[in-house]
Structure 1
């Protein structure tokens, strides 16, 4: 089944799911079918489109172990983070704890609150303490929220979300998780980790398109967010267009102000159907095995040096390394010219294959990186 779903051209080595991943065949077919339906029949089948959107919420909910009503479909991770950052009633002196290696989406949004008197504490995750302990020790009486990526985009470092969630509950601190580098690659249990907010775009490990993200909010935390987008779709009485006594939806739909992105909903629904069929536990096992094999191979190649922490529990699908002689910029440019899709991150080259990536392709990419331009 996997071979039938992914049909990349032969000269391409795609090791870049941490950026933008290729679609499965079923996702291509879903988009083609939706476009064909719209082209020939207009909105005749709109009730079916809504059913697909509903099914997508249910798939997203199952992926993180929650209810569909706790899932909003928003444009991207940055939008969801902004809804949290600018939805809370901040007081001067409040602090937000983050790491010092977050992707800009999970840093700039908190720094933007400076005008409201909110301070951002950036924590070094690579000191003498564990990453979790360093974050926990940065929490004090003024801390309102801890925001962290489940897996760091530039280093591949994975944190213990359950430990952080437990400490946030003990300190009465909101817990916000940018899960874009783990959803679709690793098992994620929002009940176990106790996150109040979780967000992730669909275009990386979830195998979907850009332009649609899952945004989870715990009901009690959801009620704390002031809304700043309004429209026909976010009201409890959706469809009662002449009702003057509207109220925001009790569900996470309150964060969806207007008409849904039906094209992307059809695409992401198809992509998540593949993840469900394979099973996220099986996918996680293969993703971690790929990383383990890359660690072993890098250790054996004379010119490569591993950057990502290979300690069990500290990595996911991202592996970053450097060449001992060739500058990172030069090696990255050459690899991309050879159609080895990767990224320049964290002081090295970032490889991020998914469960479906053939090991032969991964190994070929590593061998090419080791040899470098001749």
Structure 2
């Protein structure tokens, strides 16, 4: 990092002495500017109420524009602000018109958000096919599972436990050739690496703001290809999702042509304040540089962990197959007990899959990595 960037990050992420925060794939700390944006918003509410509501909507529009650029969506009309990834997945699952015998392809490593929602369609006769990703060519395995009855392939860009990153452009091409809809749970890539809905040729993509995007819980993004918006049956209605929003005396109405049709009611303005500020920081740094810095930190962790006797890594070694997640276990030790010991020693991480998951962000310092490795070595020697 440059001295200028070092200075910015020292201001944005003041380090709590002794704390090693390696849990961005779960819930990330906010940058200082996001906390300041929420503080200002709270003070405005206390002193002036909603007098400046039009200015709040200016921030919301800036957020939509930042999300459009972050996903490389064609337009802000393709962007809906949602509560979370699960809500956006539900818009797809319960918006499409299914027939008995239709198939959905997912992997056998998915976070429940990208599994339960599809399994819930079982009462309609929809079959969920779970594909093993452990072979040399997981993309080929996913595409090979498609049959003439396959309607949709839904996959996490990065698997939450192993950290396996998939070739989304290849999957997008394969889905288009097979006339299969392509849905991406982007939560473990968006904010950690560049993401491009047009290059991936996907139909739907969604993510929460509270992980790699460094924002609050309760606000996420849903991208829906323009041609498919009218095909998704709506299950939520309200004043905000209509075409002529704000015209309260109008008796006739229709859903908005834009992705706002998925936003039934009042926006999460407080969340918008925080997430917009967080995305401003990511844009200043640049997603290419963010990805490179995260890769560097994953490299530091890997180099250190492989030198510790008894440590086994569960995440891909190939940089083309990984993002910000590194999972490990210690021979002869229960991973949940290892996690509890690490947490007690101020290494913030989480148990996932067969091991303990580390997930540093671009601002994580070398000192934090080195201290974490020192503690893991001591735990391994117990």
Given the two structures, how large is their TM-score scaled by the length of structure 1? 0.98
Cα distance in structure 1, aligned partners of 2:178 and 2:51: 52
What is the aligned partner in structure 2 of residue 318 from structure 1? 325
- 1:329 aligned counterpart, secondary structure: helix
What is the aligned partner in structure 2 of residue 41 from structure 1? 48
**Are 1:350 and 2:357 an aligned pair?**
yes
Cα distance in structure 2, aligned partners of 1:246 and 1:16: 45
Q: Which runs of 5+ in 2 are unaligned?
A: 1-7
Deviation at 1:366, TM superposition (A): 2.3
What is the aligned partner in structure 2 of residue 369 from structure 1? 376
What is the aligned partner in structure 1 of residue 280 from structure 2? 273
Deviation at 1:287, TM superposition (A): 0.8
Cα distance in structure 2, aligned partners of 1:195 and 1:65: 12
Cα distance in structure 1, aligned partners of 2:228 and 2:364: 38
Deviation at 1:278, TM superposition (A): 0.6
**Are 1:56 and 2:63 an aligned pair?**
yes
Choose the corresponding residue for 2:134, options 126, 137, 151. 126
Give yes or no for contact 2:84–2:207 (8 Å, CA) kept in 1. yes
- RMSD of aligned alpha carbons: 1.0
CA deviations on 1:257-304 (whole Å, 9 max, x unpaired) are 000000000000000000011111110110111112222222222231
Q: Which runs of 5+ in 1 are unaligned?
A: none
Choose the corresponding residue for 2:165, options 158, 170, 185. 158
Give yes or no for contact 1:24–1:207 (8 Å, CA) kept in 2. yes
Deviation at 1:243, TM superposition (A): 1.3
**Are 1:76 and 2:111 an aligned pair?**
no
What is the aligned partner in structure 2 of residue 308 from structure 1? 315
- 2:207 aligned counterpart, secondary structure: strand
**Are 1:205 and 2:212 an aligned pair?**
yes
Give yes or no for contact 1:180–1:201 (8 Å, CA) kept in 2. yes
Deviant stretches of 4+, over 4 Å = none
Deviation at 1:8, TM superposition (A): 3.1
Give yes or no for contact 2:165–2:320 (8 Å, CA) kept in 1. yes
Cα distance in structure 2, aligned partners of 1:363 and 1:76: 34
- 2:303 aligned counterpart, secondary structure: helix
Choose the corresponding residue for 2:104, options 96, 102, 105. 96
What is the aligned partner in structure 1 of residue 182 from structure 2? 175
Deviation at 1:118, TM superposition (A): 0.2
CA deviations on 1:49-71 (whole Å, 9 max, x unpaired) are 00100100000000011121111
Given the two structures, how large is their TM-score scaled by the length of structure 2? 0.96
Give yes or no for contact 2:300–2:369 (8 Å, CA) kept in 1. no
Deviation at 1:235, TM superposition (A): 0.5
Cα distance in structure 1, aligned partners of 2:374 and 2:70: 35
**Are 1:18 and 2:25 an aligned pair?**
yes
Cα distance in structure 2, aligned partners of 1:195 and 1:223: 16
Q: How many residues align?
A: 373
Deviation at 1:311, TM superposition (A): 1.3
Cα distance in structure 2, aligned partners of 1:136 and 1:250: 32
What is the aligned partner in structure 1 of residue 118 from structure 2? 110
Cα distance in structure 2, aligned partners of 1:330 and 1:46: 49
